[in-house]
Structure 1
Amino acid sequence: MTEIAGRPDDRGGAVREPLKFAYWVPNVSGGLVVSNVEQRTDWSYEYNLDLARAAEAAGFEYALTQVRYLASYGAANQHESTSFSLALLAATEKLKVIAAVHPGMWQPGVLAKFLTTADHISGGRAAVNVVSGWLKNEFVQLGEPWLEHGERYRRAEEFIRYMREIWTSDAAEFSGDFYRLHDFNMQPKPLDLPGRRHPEVFMGGNSTDARGMGARVADWYFMNGASFDAAQAQIADVSKQADDNGRTVRFGLNGFVIARDTEAEARAQLADIIENADTPAVEGFADAVKQAGASTSDQKGMWADATLTDLVQYNEGFRTGLVGTPEQIAHRLLEYRRRGVDLMLCGFLHFREEVEYFGREVLPLYRELEAAEGVLAWGGQA
């Protein structure tokens, strides 16, 4: 039996934590699929407030707000991510909310201050996802410089290093190609809590640049939807690079969940989403993201081998295969946990009711499997 992957703790032992669950916040219209299929998901604050409370009650620990500034590819309307995240934090009690941000749209010291305030308001539940950016027109039409792929990741890495410096030093110093900081003392600092000194830093990607950056500076590394073997290979690569840098990184995987009472119902829903795909929007999205991937130095990157069907779900969530009965999905989740996935980032078609169904029907089954796996894999120690 494959043992569930562990992460080293400060004493050199292994921390085998339960799989964590996050959901995509639908603060962008169109839901999580580029399809004309009927959806009962809404991008309004009122809907999302209700959803956040339901997700918290269902057992979700994290929520990720999307960052999109420009109407594009089925997303006609967008709410800004950081303000939306703060509102959800203020309305919940346990949920950690990850605000996606673009370096180039923010000065890192200003964002660090914003996140610190959010951290104090929420009792330590603020987090950030630093996104290098792929949609060129968002930068160009706002009059901001557009950098090529490798440079965007260099800027994003400096952005994270700068924020971490300002969060942890009373005389912060930073000198980079994109950002500079001299003898700066930001007060108050973020809350210093067990397991974290400051808001958790997420980032994602598939490219060589992204993997190296994640290994050097990220707390969490997000991956697009992937098969068991593909996820495991990327985890092994980034983990090795992180170890070489004396660091530990945890891993999140994107997965679009279609849980139904029967497998036939779930498969039919997936087919309906794909058959009703907004083809022009999917093709436009494909052109934009594949152009971004092709600009990498080694022609590797996110969406590099994605088909049009894969791109009906923005971050290739269909590839993770979370489609079927609660039992089938629970077993698949366990296999991803065995391969080293620490967090599953879930998307849904009808968010409100499906988040509740997931919490009621899938999570209890998964927790039972995870507990049994612990007994079997860890020599009788749960």
Structure 2
Amino acid sequence: MELKNFNNSYKNKAVYILTIILSIAFIAFGYKLNKVDFALQEYSQSYKAEVVSINDITEEKIEYEYEDLSSTTIRFTAKITNGELKGTTVNASQYMDEIVAVNPKMVEPKDMILISSLTARSGVGEEWTFLEYDRTMAMVWLVVSFLLLIIVFGRKKGVNTIISLVFTCLAVFMVFVPSILKGNNIYLSSIVVSFFIIFMSLLLLNGANKKTLCAIVGNLGGLFIAGILAFFISKVLNLTGIIDDDTMFLLMLNTEKPIDLLAILWGSIVIGSLGAVMDVSMSIASAMNELAENMYDKNFKSLLKSGLNIGQDAIGTMTNTLILAYIGSSLAVVLLLVANYGDKLLLFNLEMIVFEIIQAVIGSMGILFAVPITSLFAAYIYNMK
């Protein structure tokens, strides 16, 4: 028994180390393969600065079409806190125009902000101008707190969760996104990155065992169904892929080989539903593993029934989670469209709204199919002598 436990421990450590090495290799090779350079437009460099004092506040009227609108100028002194100009004190300006619906808060002493040397409003020379509030440290503390809480509550698995999260983000932003910008096949890139995330995450979190195998099979099955449905539904609904201004701008990035916008929509659905499908598959595989180890008289039928019952509970919560996540991410757009479109028939046939609906529905269908696939495979695997 002790020898068996030692072998299992050795095997899990070997798989863990190998998974990390292969993940680093995948990301490094993928980045090198897909790295693309664009002729970027030159921008004035921004600097971090601390507001030292407010020097002057003036207000003037500006003629705009048929009305006069006010413009407030706040002149202040700021001390640059980074870059080659660190320690330099400069005079800068913040403009708050009535023509803009929402202006940022008026700067105050000790505020941390971003400034840049831009063309003056008068058109003569340059002046230091307020760009944005510096939110870097607040975001860093928020992320660090989140990661610490994962470690506190998850302990060893919390550390592995952070490692898998880092690899997932690197795979998306260093492999998947560059591959699209380079003009590679988006369908293939989505599949490869999804496979990598599934295998890497589940192996790091649970090791190489039956439970992980069942979760992987269920995940791949649910994702395969979602991908097939997304492909055919986009054809049936005659989607073009142009759902907003951002997608139109994508066509201008590479005029020689334009980005396939329908493939972008497909990739969005697959990548977007990946996490939820993985969660359901792992939950069912883990619960059925506990049942199989503690069942006195286990058999395929009883294990399958238990898996489907567990899946029914997971379906309700995860489907709600997925749909609410999509609604929340596009709430401002939904409010704007509902408020301005009196023709509801046209509203619900706009490609922007249609895409949001099919993204949520097809992602949820991936969860639905992951339940029986995981349950069937787990019932077979756990019943093997």
**Does TM, normalized by the shorter one, top 0.5?**
no
* Structure of greater Rg: 2
Query: Normalising by structure 1, what TM-score?
Result: 0.24
Return the structure number with greater relative CO, CA threshold 8 A, min gap 6. Answer: 1
Q: TM-score, normalised by structure 2?
A: 0.24
